[in-house]
Amino acid sequence: ICRHTLLLLRPSPTVCMLFLTSCRVSLSVIRLALPRNPTLVAKPVSPTLRASRLLVRFKSLSSVSTLFSMPERRPFVRLPTDVYPVNYGLRLKPDLIDFTFEGKLEAAVEVTQGTNQIVMNCADIDIITASFVPEGGDEINATGFNYQNEDEKVTLCFPSILQKGSGSLKIDFVGELNDKMKGFYRSKYMTPSGENRYAAVTQFEATDARRAFPCWDEPAIKATFDITLIVPKDRIALSNMNVFDRKPYPEDHSLVEVKYATTPIMSTYLVAFVIGEYDFVESQSSDGVTVRVYTPVGKAEQGKFALEVATKTLPFYKDYFSVPYPLPKIDLIAIADFAAGAMENWGLVTYRETALLIDPKNSCASSRQWVALVVGHELAHQWFGNLVTMEWWTHLWLNEGFASWIEYLCVDHCFPEYDIWTQFVSADYTRALDLDALDNSHPIEVDVGHPSEVDEIFDAISYSKGASVIRMLHNYIGDEDFRKGMNAYLLKFQHKNASTEDLWECLEQASGKPIAAVMNSWTKQMGFPIIVVDQEQHGSDRVLKISQKKFCASGPRNDENCPNWMVPISICTSEDPSCTKMKVLLDQPETTVNVTNIAPDHWIKINPGTVGFYRIQYSSAMLESLLPGIRDLTLLPVDRLGLQNDLFSLARAGMISTVEVLKVMEAFVNEPNYTVWSDLSCNLGVLSSLLSHTDFHEDIQEFIRNLFTPIGMKLGWDSKTGEGHLDALLRGLVLGKLGKAGHKGTLEEARRRFKEHVEGKQILPADLRSPVYLTVLKHGDSTTLDTMLKLHKQADMQEEKNRIERVLGAIPAPDLIQRVLNFALSEEVRPQDTVSVIGGVAGSSKQGRKAAWKFVKDNWEELHNRYQGGFLISRLIKLTVDGFAIDKMAAEVKSFFESHHAPAAERTVQQCCENILLNAAWLKRDAEDIHQYLLQRKAPPTI
């Protein structure tokens, strides 16, 4: 009665809060109780159904008290095994106006030992009736439903013992199509005529299938699924399998009943359904699989690139794994509101629009590359994750690390001109090294208990470090044995679950190498080594002294209990930089290696191809001999990149002077490679952000202008005949860097081209839009911002809206920065993109960083409620505070999150505080030396 009274009387939120606090009902429930959609009140529904729907709105995961004190981590127990599902017969009837759904579950189950209760996962769902029918017996109605909300479980209680054997569990239930981008949720889109409508879509990984139907929501509890959707007849309705029956719904002629073929045995987190309005393009892969790409209505053309990638990728994986794709079809669909980049649901892969749609005229080269990588990643999961699934979330890294590695293999196969493996080193490998050097990193393989802990490990360790160590393993084993082991693994565990150790065993048998021993040192312990190298010439031989110790972002440590790794080390020489001369497995703290037939004037390089997951510190003489290889390009691009990145990281850790790295950076003046420039640009961005805390910030901008001007002049503004994908990426990167740093000629030309673009005289090529938008905003005023917001409003394509959103924060005036932050939370920005607008403000300037942090604090409740503890909240925190470089800011950030809990982001907060302290130490240590060096560069030469 109390719950219903709240909805009928609609008191103020304050009254609600006081009332519900006494009832220990969460604040998120209050928001649900105050309807955002007028049709919730206007539409007549039966009293019984209304009561059960309203009840759904009052399911709470925690009490109000959790907002004010840190909840104790509850002991977690997995579901009992006395009853398990064999098949789910699932009927769902979503209401796209009322944002609710009705469901019927008829599950074939096995009772393995007598029990009078069945425990399942259930969250934000209300069960109306439940019963059990033993095979050949009479129906037994459940006498009660005991919800354990904190554990997202429900216990169905029965009046008598359910005997061992087969039976059928029947449940009627109702739920809400939420707006949290998880579970069964609503996604807002605009029709071509400009009308706002909603689709009903799913996102179940890691543990949100339980928000759509009561189930055994653990990856190891697999079953088959027979899904039926009752939907408006003018909507597209998709699920994992192909449609085998579609007929009018007898109770309402505006609806149809759509039945899908039985799925293979699979985990609940991979189930999916989508109901909405879409166009599609279709093709068949060479091995006979029907492939469709679903797009917003009127944008079918934008699905063609992804369709081409998908139809090439399926046969590539079939060949690579020697296992065919096991479903008759695969759909790839663009969802308007989507928290992740994409999700690998078996047979129905869901994507953000920007991860799937390519407009031939308005998409830039980097977007095409991103779509190719994401499609490659998700389709790899159809085998590695879907066909063979991790036993528990502890092994999540295996799913994600493997897919993050093989997506590059796939794109290299489809688009060799992308030079994608060099880009891997900049995009994944170095990113993982930076995070894993922190004291607050974590091992690749993390023991996960309660599923609420899973969100914490969807990070660069699971994905990028995972991918990097698999790349190292692939190199160590060799492609032939690696493929042989993968095939054995997939065949042995298909339609089952496996652990990391199972994969090592298959690869060990295929290669004859100690895979488990080597890999356990990389997956079970945190961090990585720094390899310290010195050399002596003995006649025609070179003797290398090689040692390892843990690399720490805070500098060298001499702990007695320093861990060791089993490190595959490769060595090349200047005689043939592309060929590995010898390999050793460093399994001790140090070793000596004799490299024969090396002339005294030849150099030696460790880790050619930058494959081994470690940093390198060369002796001064060895480093000196390598540096000319940067200027004359005899070192391979990936090794020029790796050398520079190692030195930059050593400088941040205080192991060498930052001035030494700036001198090395100047040697890149002749550099032609996009990825090398990209990594340089990133590191100079970090340094520029650091020096924004000083009064000589302009001097580092001049250094950047000097370094980038020659390549900028060489490239020019317009593409030339014969240029390719990487030239387009490089031009955009260089012009953006010069424009942001205030290069006069670049700024003038950017303003001229922007004016012509806005006036419709000469539309900017897609590859030039980001650098031009960034440049005019960085040096712009309120008129510039108004124009940019108008372009945003007019943009028909999400890629263009995102492009603008990411650079709005570059505007310099404090009042305009505040306007951008307010815009981030407006209806104009999709919920998942708010994070990149706020992050763009924080990353653009010192005042932007302060303003963004204040904005996040002031709007914390709304932001946290919007993302409900998912990984977007971690990303928001990292983007907002990582750039601070004052000790007291670390204390402020720590203090704020002690009183404003974000359980899914606890580790991120610790990492950010550590980074702030590291930045502060770096600034104190090197700022004056950097200043003197930059002044000295400007000084006229003495005669």
pLDDT of residue 421: 96
Partners of 918 in the beta sheet?
none
381 is in an annotated binding site: yes
Q: Helix, strand, or coil here: 535?
A: strand
Q: In the predicted model, is pLDDT for residue 851 greater than 90?
A: yes
CATH topology of domain 277-382: Neutral Protease; domain 2 (1.10.390)
Q: Residue with structure tokens 């492609």?
A: 479
In this predicted structure, what is the pLDDT of residue 287? 87
Structure confidence at residue 676 as a pLDDT band (50, 70, 90): very high
Q: CB within 8 A of 807, min separation 6: which ones?
A: 770, 773, 774, 777, 840
Q: What is the pLDDT of residue 943?
A: 54
In this structure, which amino acid lies at residue 573? T
The pLDDT tens digits for 288-311 are 999 999 999 999 999 999 999 999
Q: Around 859, how many Cα atoms within 13 Å sit in the side-chain half-sphere? A: 23
pLDDT band at 448 (very low <50, low <70, confident <90, very high): confident
The one-letter amino acid at 119: V
Model confidence pLDDT, tens digit, residues 521-545: 999 999 999 999 999 999 999 999 9
Residue-level pLDDT at 890: 96
Q: Round to whole Å and give the CA distance between 276 and 815.
A: 40
Whether a cis peptide bond, with omega within 30° of 0, leads into 206 is yes
Other C-beta atoms closer than 10 Å to the C-beta of 742 total 16
At 163 the three-state DSSP class reads coil
Q: What is the pLDDT of residues 803-815, one digit of tens each?
A: 999 999 999 999 9
pLDDT at 869: 63
Query: What CATH topology corresponds to 383-526?
Result: Neutral Protease; domain 2 (1.10.390)
As to burial, measured by CB atoms within 10 angstroms (0-12 exposed, 13-18 middle, 19+ buried), residue 564 is middle
For the stretch 178-210, pLDDT in tens is 999 999 999 999 888 888 999 999 999 989 999
- Reported as a pLDDT band with limits 50, 70 and 90, residue 942 is low
Least confident of 373-377, 455-459, 481-485, 701-705: 455-459
Contact 380, 467 (CB under 8 A): no
pLDDT of residue 459: 82
Q: Assess contact for 889 and 881: CB atoms under 8 A.
A: yes
Q: Is there a contact between 334 and 306 (Cβ–Cβ < 8 Å)?
A: no
Higher-pLDDT residue of 82, 40: 82
pLDDT category, 709, cuts 50, 70, 90?
Answer: very high
Under 8 Å between Cβ of 432 and 495: no
Q: Each residue of 85-112: b (16+ CB within 10 Å) or e?
A: bebbbbbbbbbbebbbbbbbbebbbebe
Q: Residue 380: is it exposed, middle or buried by C-beta count within 10 angstroms (0-12/13-18/19+)? A: buried
Beta carbons of 93 and 53 less than 8 angstroms apart:
no
Q: Are 213 and 152 in contact (CB under 8 A)?
A: no
- The catalytic site residues sit at 378
pLDDT over threshold 90, residue 30: no
* Whole-number pLDDT of residue 12: 42
pLDDT at 377 over 90: yes
Residue type for position 394: T
Q: What is the pLDDT of residue 902?
A: 86
CA nearest to 167, candidates 87, 224, 221 = 87
Q: What is the dihedral of CA 905, 907, 910, 912, to 10 degrees?
A: -60
900 is in an annotated binding site: no
- Residue 113 CA, chain-centre distance (Å), reads 42
With vertex at residue 871, the alpha carbon angle to CA 867 and CA 877, rounded to the nearest 5 degrees, is: 85
pLDDT at 193: 86
Amino acid 641: pLDDT: 96
Sheet holding 529-538, edge to edge: 590-595, 541-550, 529-538, 615-618
Given a cut of 50, whether residue 9 has pLDDT beyond it is: no
**Which token pair is 416?**
């060799």
pLDDT mean over 470-495: 95
How far apart, in whole angstroms, are the C-alpha atoms of residue 124 and residue 175? 6
Does the annotation list 377 as a binding residue?
yes
512, with CB counted inside 10 A (0-12, 13-18, 19+), is exposed
How many residues are listed for the chain in this entry?
Answer: 943
Helix, strand, or coil here: 709? helix
What confidence tens digit (pLDDT) does each residue in 46-98 have? 333 333 333 332 322 232 222 223 345 557 889 999 999 999 999 999 999 99
pLDDT for position 45: 37
pLDDT computed for residue 58 by the predictor: 30
So what's the pLDDT on residue 73?
A: 53
d(CA 187, CA 196): 10
Other CB atoms within 10 A of residue 595 CB: 17
Beta bridge partners of 349: 332
Give the pair of three-digit tokens for residue 632.
């004359």
Q: How many CB atoms sit inside 10 A of residue 939's CB?
A: 7
Tokens representing 350 are 């869901």
**Tokens, residue 244:** 């085998």
Kindly report the CATH number that applies to the domain delimited by 816-942. 1.25.50.20
Q: Would the pLDDT of 26 be above 70? A: no
Which bin fits 122, alpha (ψ -120 to 50), beta or left (φ > 0)? beta
Structure-block tokens of residue 943:
């005669």
Query: What pLDDT score was predicted for residue 893?
Result: 96
Per-position DSSP letters for 916-941, written without gaps between them: HHHHHHHHHHHHHHHHHHHHHHHSPP
User: What is the average pLDDT value for the chain, to the nearest integer?
Assistant: 89
Of 441, 302, 314, 333, the closest CA to residue 376 belongs to 314
What pLDDT, on the 0 to 100 scale, is given for residue 15? 37
pLDDT of 918 > 50? The answer is: yes
What would the two tokens of residue 543 be?
Answer: 């003797």
Does the pLDDT value for residue 449 go beyond 90?
A: no
CA gap 206, 72 in Å, rounded? 22
d(CA 294, CA 690): 44
pLDDT digits (tens, 9 = 90+) for 322-356: 999 999 999 999 999 998 899 999 999 999 999 99
Task: Name the segment(s) of the chain with CATH classification 1.25.50.20.
Answer: 816-942
Q: Which of 780, 782, 758, 783 has its CA nearest to residue 769?
A: 758
Q: Single out the residue of 185, 120, 165, 178 nearest to residue 146, CA to CA.
A: 120
Which two three-digit tokens encode residue 569? 């080390």
Domain with CATH 1.10.390.10 in the chain: 277-382, 383-526
Question: Predicted confidence band at 404 (pLDDT cuts at 50, 70, 90)?
Answer: very high
CB 513 within 8 A of CB 477: yes
How many percent of the chain have pLDDT more than 70? Answer: 91
Kind and range of the H or E run holding 200:
strand 196-203
pLDDT band with cut points at 50, 70 and 90 for residue 578: confident
DSSP one-letter code for 941: P
pLDDT tens-place string over residues 618-641: 999 999 999 999 999 999 999 999
Among candidates 176, 59, 82, which has minimal Cα distance to 132? Answer: 82
Strand partners, 145: 156
CB atoms within 10 A of CB 537: 13
The two three-digit tokens of residue 842, written as one number: 């924080």
Question: For residue 542, what is the enclosing H or E element?
Answer: strand 541-550
Instruction: From residue 899, give the alpha-carbon distance in Å to each of 214, 413, 864, 909.
Output: 34, 50, 13, 13
Q: What pTM did the predictor assign?
A: 0.89
Q: Which of 437, 447, 486 has its CA nearest to residue 613?
A: 437
pLDDT at 63: 28
pLDDT tens track for 712-744 = 999 999 999 989 999 999 999 999 999 999 999
Give me the torsion for CA of 430, 435, 438, 440, rounded to 10°.
Answer: -160
- What is the pLDDT at residue 935? 93
Buried b (16+ CB within 10 A) or exposed e, 250-284: eeeeebbbbbbbebbebbbbbbbbbbbbbbbbeee
CA nearest to 442, candidates 363, 383, 512, 524: 524
